[in-house]
Amino acid sequence: MTGYLARRLGQALLILLGISLVTFVLLYLLPADPVRQIAGRSATAQTVENIREQLGLNLPFYEQYARYLGALLRGDLGRSYLQKTEVSALIASRLPATLLLMVGAIGCELVVGLTMGLIAAVRRGSFLDNALMIASFIGVSAPQFVIGILLLYVFAVQLGWFPIGGYGTFQHLVLPSLTLGLLGSGWYARMMRSEMLDVLRLDYIRTAHAKGLKGWKVLIGHALPNAILPIIAMIGIDIGMFMSGIVVVESVFGWPGIGQLAWQAIQRVDVPIIMGVTLISACAIVLGNLLADVVAPFIDPRIKAR
């Protein structure tokens, strides 16, 4: 296991290196000049050249990249071109909100999605099953903006149960998590249903059932662990995805997460922020997947982590 982990972490470093190179190349190819964004619309040619030189953007590509990597090795993500603030401080200020929303959203997805999936599997072919199927598809097809505003309007403006957006307390977390949770739960519901149906047909489940074990005991004790494997993989994917920030939901709920930071940086070609956020989310994605792979053997002992 230790050897496996060490190997995986080594591979993770390679991935991060690859991502940093790819992102740097893309930003270099991007036909939008960050210097122009800094210098603004009234700048003289002299100002533009000065800034280009100061930021080292007049250097050949490999030299710029080498400089960036060098700083990165010292733990320096650089300073934002436009805000002048350290990128690490900007990311750190938004990381807690992003983490919270990730936990809230995944929690919601699991509770809603797995329940839906279980019920649908057990009541297979019933009206309820069909209704849940339709609900799943509506959720997956619904635009986050619309669902977010609708939830806000009903539960915050009309009923006054929650604040109208913002960040700070548990109350603030509910609606954004619910928005992401409802929309994402369709995936979990459909996967859960399909896995449960497969598992419920297995002989040993029938045997357990025949031995007189109570229905729900069979369900929770035997069927669920066997069905949950792909769900673990999906959680791993979601960790990475939510850590990269969810622009729309963050903006609807005024949630100070990484997504808004990244989106504004992309619009204005703020290279250090884009690089920083991309690397942080790559870390999260790699770790999320690693986590899923490491956890899987504990759920399903047949798998060996190797």
Residues from 36 through 75 that contact another protein (CB under 8 A): 36-48, 50-51, 54
What's the closest the beta carbon of residue 10 comes to another protein, in angstroms? 10
Total residues contacting another protein (rule CB under 8 A)?
Answer: 121
Of the residues 1, 9, 18, 56, which one makes contact with another protein according to CB under 8 A: 18
Which among 25, 23, 24, 53 has a CA at the least distance from the CA of 38? 53
Measure the CA–CA gap between 120 and 192, rounded to whole angstroms.
9
Rule CB under 8 A: say whether 88 interacts with another protein.
no
Q: Which stretch binds another protein (CB under 8 A): 56-64, 68-76, 105-113, 130-138?
A: 130-138
Q: Which stretch binds another protein (CB under 8 A): 67-75, 99-107, 108-116, 287-295?
A: 287-295
Could you please report the per-residue DSSP string of 9-43? HHHHHHHHHHHHHHHHHHHHH-SS-HHHHHH-TT-
Looking at the Cβ atoms of 99 and 149, the one nearer to another protein is 149
Binding mask 169-188 for another protein (x = CB under 8 A): -----------------xx-
| Torsion 207-213-219-224 (CA) sign | negative
What's the closest the beta carbon of residue 198 comes to another protein, in angstroms? 6
User: Among the residues of the chain, which ranges form H helices?
Assistant: 2-29, 34-39, 45-54, 61-73, 87-122, 127-141, 144-151, 170-200, 203-210, 215-218, 224-227, 229-243, 247-252, 258-267, 271-299
How many other C-beta atoms can be found within 10 angstroms of the C-beta atom of residue 280? 23
Residue 22 tokens, joined: 């790819």
Looking at the Cβ atoms of 108 and 296, the one nearer to another protein is 296
Where in 225-244 is the site for another protein (CB under 8 A)? 229-230, 232-234, 236-237, 240
| Torsion 66-71-77-80 (CA) sign | negative
Looking at the Cβ atoms of 104 and 184, the one nearer to another protein is 184
Where in 132-161 is the site for another protein (CB under 8 A)? 133-134, 136-138, 140-143, 145-146, 149, 152-153, 156-157
Which among 264, 266, 287, 231 has a CA at the least distance from the CA of 99? 287
What's the closest the beta carbon of residue 177 comes to another protein, in angstroms? 16
What's the closest the beta carbon of residue 302 comes to another protein, in angstroms? 4
Cβ–Cβ < 8 Å for 222, 204: yes
Where in 246-275 is the site for another protein (CB under 8 A)? 250-256, 260-261, 264, 266-269, 274
Rule CB under 8 A: say whether 190 interacts with another protein.
yes
Alpha carbon distances (Å) from 282 to 149, 222, 274, 277: 30, 35, 12, 8
Q: Which stretch binds another protein (CB under 8 A): 64-72, 106-114, 208-216?
A: 208-216
203 CB contacts (<8 Å, ≥6 apart)?
Answer: none
Q: Which stretch binds another protein (CB under 8 A): 58-66, 70-78, 107-115, 164-172?
A: 164-172
Q: Which stretch binds another protein (CB under 8 A): 62-70, 106-114, 122-130?
A: 122-130
